[in-house]
Structure 1
Amino acid sequence: MPCRLPVTPALLLALTLLGACAHQPPVPAIPDAPLVLLGEQHDADEHQRLARDAVRRLAVQGRLAALVVEMADAGRDTRGLPPQASEAQVRERLVWNSDGWPWERYGPVVMAAVQAGVPVIGGNQPRAQMRASMQDSRLDQRLDAAALDAQRQAIERGHCGLLPDSQLPAMVRIQIARDLSLAHTATSALRPGQTVLLLAGSGHVRRDLGIPRHLDPALAQQARVVWMQAGGDPVPAGQADATWATPAVPGKDHCAQLREQMGQPARR
């Protein structure tokens, strides 16, 4: 008589992971830590694939406590949804903004956790709170002077030098507030003996500027930062515990796109 194994979410995930690994490079080793911060480049498809595979691997191993994502607001989560929940149900529960975060890109990451019975938790600061954050000078004190200046420079570079100097302090405060929100959300999701996986843009996971600066010191020391590096882009020194190298993303002139969005004339 043939041996028949019970079909469980963990078994289905294991079979799915094995099938995926047969056609694609396997996800690198995932650090054993209570909190793993996975930094991505939003337009690098390989980064979302690796994030999906990391979710699956941790879930199969019984290590995944929760998936915290920058792509949904704090206060939104999939708790209570069954593993069989539809994508529409998941998007509704997370109040997913497909304009900002294309579902075809991030949906597989989210659904991998849901189908494993693991909660997906939004960690970003809600847009309704951003105006108050822009005016909250207390946020400036969350970083020392050097880190605050570095954050300012990073935001200035990220906006291609198109932001007026008068707007930079407010934009820095929003970034700090978002990192604080993600840090608080991840901390609240911790479970003994398991790992919270947090997926956010790589700028958010930097040890000198980002989420680690807003964690309890003991947790910050135990947390591990994984930087997904597209095409050899430089990783700031000392800001990651591991680097996952991926192919380069086809060249795009992000500054040209931003100038168009802001109604700025094209450079000649």
Structure 2
Amino acid sequence: MHRPLLLFVLRSISQTHAAAVRPGARALAVALAVALAGCAPMGPRTGAQAPTPWLAQVQALLPADVLLIGEQHDAPEHQALEREAVQWLAARGQLAALVMEMADSGRTTDGMPRDADEAQVQQALGWNAAAWPWAQYGPVAMAAVRAGVPVRGGNLPRADLREAMRDERWDRHLDATALARQHTALREGHCGLLPESQIPGMARIQIARDARMAAVAAAARRPGQVVVLVAGGGHVLRGVGVPTHWFPGLTAKVALAQAGGAPDPQAGDTDAVQATPALPARDPCAELRRSQGARP
């Protein structure tokens, strides 16, 4: 599940590393340090909306320190589900923070007023609209801002990518089976066009990104509330992604939004799966090969 973000990563590292990325799906997982934030929990507010079937699933996963919501980036229904969850949890006083893969760590809306406009929020988050269309993700972020809940970037900044690619300690973070899953996902997500020599380095970047997202989410915890982490479906999987970076005692639940026709997750990788309609038929690998001048 690797989308144009990986092409952005490769180009950021060097022109020679610019490999193609499937436009139909994006990435695997992110996280790395732990800090506790303590604030008094807020009780449910009156007048909160009744749960829809999706929200009933969310409610069934609570209590939790972190709720990971995995998406397919080109499925608008998935961003709609994220916004719905953010609004519902915030209305009940249960949302501690929204952490988004789509903004870099260190970027935050902390301290912004609820009536901040969208341009101000984008500036605070350092939003890259070329990689992440604001029309899709803006409503998710603004739902938190309007509720007075901080939005925090979780992704590994560009300046850290080269170091992550060279850092061999990430090779030892996952066991052999899980690391092989990462490598296979990279090959398939790049339609077989990514040179084999780049696979280990790209896997290190993915693992480092998962570590950073985990650190940001862990630091945002508040007693009695839940942090929502929004990321690509591969990033949230318990066997290979963000949850592999957390310490014992942190309670995390995984909800995966799944478009019709997408492969099922492995057993134990998720706590809930929300089915959405299949996306229009297309061949992203053919599109990618055309864009790279490769043969079909």
| TM-score, normalising length: structure 2 | 0.80
**Structure 1 residue 25, shift from structure 2 partner:** 7.2
CA deviations on 1:130-170 (whole Å, 9 max, x unpaired) are 01111111111111111111111111111111111101011
Is 1:150 paired with 2:181? yes
What residue in structure 1 maps to residue 101 of structure 2?
Answer: 70
The answer for unaligned runs of 5 or more in structure 2 is 1-43
Contact preservation (8 Å) 1:28, 1:244: no
Q: Which residue in the other structure is 2:294 paired with? A: 265
SS at match of 1:65: strand
Give SS of 2:179's match: helix
Q: Indicate the residue corresponding to 1:242 in structure 2.
A: 272
Q: Give the alignment partner of residue 72 of structure 2, picking from 19, 23, 41.
A: 41
Q: Is the 8 A contact 2:70 2:255 kept in 1?
A: yes
Confirm whether residue 56 of structure 1 aligns to residue 87 of structure 2: yes
| From 190, 197, 203, the counterpart of 1:172 | 203
Distance 1:256 1:204 in 2: 25
Q: Does 1:29 align with 2:57?
A: yes
Considering only CA atoms, is the larger Rg found in Structure 1 or Structure 2? 1
The 5-angstrom pairing of residues 2-151 of structure 1 reads: 27-30=55-58, 31-32=61-62, 33-151=64-182
Structure 2 Cα separation of the partners of residues 26 and 173 of structure 1: 34
Aligned mates of 1:91, 1:256 — CA distance in 2: 33
| C-alpha distance after superposition, 1:55-108 (max 9, x if no partner) | 000000100000000000000000011000000000000000000000000000
Gaps spanning 5+ residues in structure 1: where? 1-9
CA RMSD of aligned residues (A): 1.9
For residue 45 of structure 1, report the CA deviation from its aligned partner.
0.7
Tell me the distance in 2 between the aligned counterparts of 1:212 and 1:38. 12
1-structure distance, mates of 2:289, 2:158: 23
The separation in 1 between residues aligned to 2:199 and 2:254, in whole angstroms, is: 27
CA–CA distance in structure 2, aligned partners of residues 14 and 178 of structure 1: 38
CA positional deviation for 1:171: 0.5
* Aligned pairs, number: 249
C-alpha contact 2:107 2:152 (8 A) present in aligned 1? yes
CA distance in 2, matches of 1:266, 1:135: 31
Q: Which amino acid aligns with 1:250?
A: P
Q: Is 1:227 the equivalent of 2:256? A: yes
Structure 1 contact 37–199 (Cα < 8 Å) conserved: yes
Answer whether contact 1:229 1:235 (CA < 8 A) is retained.
Answer: no
1:208 is displaced (CA, Å) by 0.7
Q: Which residue of 2 aligns with 1:4?
A: none
Q: Secondary structure at the match of 1:218?
A: coil
**Identity of matched residues, %:** 53
Q: In the alignment, is the contact (CA less than 8 A) between 2:54 and 2:274 conserved in 1?
A: no
**In structure 2, C-alpha distance between the alignment counterparts of 1:141 and 1:260, rounded to whole Å:** 36
